[in-house]
Each structure stands twice: as structure tokens, then as C-alpha cells.
Amino acid sequence: MSYSNFLGFMMDKFLKNPQVLSHYLPREAVRMHFRGDIHIHKLPHSLWIPYCAGWSYGKILRVGL
């Protein structure tokens, strides 16, 4: 298994675990993700760079784009 395959596997598991996500994102954002209101992508190496543009997920969830 390559590093990128392993990383993809781990991120897939990570994003399906609300307890883990709650350590990194606001609780309401995690609830919204699991209700299907928003989708949190498994970006390479980071949960904090939505759409590879360098924006803060926390700020987007608090104030929007």
C-alpha cells in the first residue's frame, strides 16, 4: 500500500467518525456533516483548506464564504 493510499484510507475512516471530527471542527459542523447539510471533503493532509484555496473551515462555518 502506498503512502497516498494509506492516507486516503485513514482520512476516509476519520471523516466517518463523529467523535474524532469533534476534536477538530465545531460540534454543530459535525452534526451538519452527518445530517447531510454540508459535506466535509477528505483533502490531502488537511481538513482546514476547503477546495484547496487556503480558507479556514472554522471561519467558513462561522461566517460563510
pLDDT in tens, 26-53: 899 889 988 989 887 665 555 555 555 6
Q: Is 70 exceeded by the pLDDT of residue 60?
A: yes
Local structure of residue 37 (DSSP, 8 states): S
Q: Is 80 exceeded by the pLDDT of residue 11?
A: no
Q: Where are the domains of the chain?
A: 3-63
- C-alpha distance across the termini of the chain, in Å: 37
Local structure of residue 57 (DSSP, 8 states): H
